[in-house]
Amino acid sequence: MTDIILSVLLIFPIISGLIMFLIQKKTFNNIFLNIYALIHFICTLLLVFDKDIQNKGHYFAVDDTNKIFLLILSFIFLMVTIYNNGYQKHFKYKEKKTCHYLIMITAFVWAMTGAILATDLGIAWVLVEATTLSSAYLIYFNKTKNSIEAAWKYVFMCSIGIALAFIGIIFLNISSGNINTLNYAELANNAKLFNPFWLKLSFVFILFGFGTKMGLAPVHFWLPDAHSESPSPISALLSATLLNSAYLVILRVFKILEIANSSIEARIMLAVIGFLSLFITAVFVYHIKNYKRMLAYSSIENMGILAIGTSLGGAAYFAVILHLIGHSLAKASFFLSSGNILELYETKNIKSSSGILSANKVTGWLWIVSFLAICAFPTSVLFISEFIIIKTMILKEYYGLCALFAILLTFVIYGIGKAVIKMAYGKLNEEKTQIVNENKSKITVSMYIPQVIMLTMVFILGIYIPDFLNDIIQAALKGF
């Protein structure tokens, strides 16, 4: 049964993609995308809640570690698809181009699903590269000067990253000696036999290689451009699911170093790169003019928090999983809400998008609540995750790092908050009033519902974590 479900997850999108390519009818292709999103979510639930599926696949399998990543991907994909039903109704592009857009979303999600389910580092490497190829078209979709530049930067940076990761895989293979495999489980079982020098060196390249895709500083340069220039549903997928997929690969390799008792240097690197990501965000977000670019820098910040939490270990691992869930839900909501704003105002400029509450009250409140969720305002689940990370730093007597962490987060919250408040509560520009009134009809109910669902979940999880989710999180901790 498990093999059948995995086959459906990985083969159905290929078949449906071919059918969509041959028929190329906008309505038909959109129906197929919705069917894929629903099937993906149902299959994910069957896999996640089946306790007898461990390690049954040779190349692809569900285990305790990747269950939570798969569940996040599947749920966010479903929410984005619901939003996209209203979003793509008002495309001014030819039907063929819209069809290609829907096909490439299918390919993008397929690649991320494969990367998460892969049991082999080599297969994961190939599929992470496949996410680059499939999402590059989506970033380039609007075909503006900025989107073309963003797509080229994305492909260039991620290609360098994937090359560095490949070198890291070679070094990992050298460290394993006669154990000629890249299977995660076999690598973990034999980790204590590995050559420490080559193992540690491999992690340097793998961290910077896959860290490029994860959006960690200093290899983050593609992310602000790509996320800000993509259509809003794609921005949500890039930030809430793609970055997680790259993080999972880093986490798998980090686990091998832990088993081999060679993780001290890896922890230091994760901490340094994490704090650098926070610092970069704190510096750039303060003077930012583009609200989608602002959200992109927020993603860099939150990936930095994941890296810091991973470096700390102990209770911070639990915080990392909570933060992974909270960031994905809150940031997807934030980006989808930014899509509503862009539809209304036809600009990404913060100054030109003031008075959202006057223009569209629901969008305005979604924008405000998304900010409260991402800035860890109680009872956001991100408040719990960041609190646990700070507590872990104090218990480990890292007082200086704790103070730096709090200061950088404060700067980021102030920078984003300043822009959000200005946009939500500012006065509606007179010359924008007519544009807003003309575009109000473009915002349909399906462009509100996903954000409401995700934000509700973010704030409920800050108070109460259901038993089934807690079981999944506790199981995932075994992979840390």
Does the pLDDT at position 432 exceed 60?
yes
Q: Report the sign of the C-alpha dihedral through residues 447, 453, 456, 458, in that order.
A: negative
pLDDT at residue 54 greater than cutoff 70? no
Task: Quick: pLDDT tens for 249-285.
Answer: 999 999 999 999 888 999 999 999 999 999 999 999 8
Mean pLDDT of 26-55: 85
pLDDT for 9: 87
- Per-residue pLDDT at 107 exceeds 70: yes
How far is it, in rounded angstroms, from Cα 376 to Cα 397? 23
Distance CA 168, CA 163 (A): 9
When pLDDT is cut at 50, 70 and 90, the band that residue 80 belongs to is very high
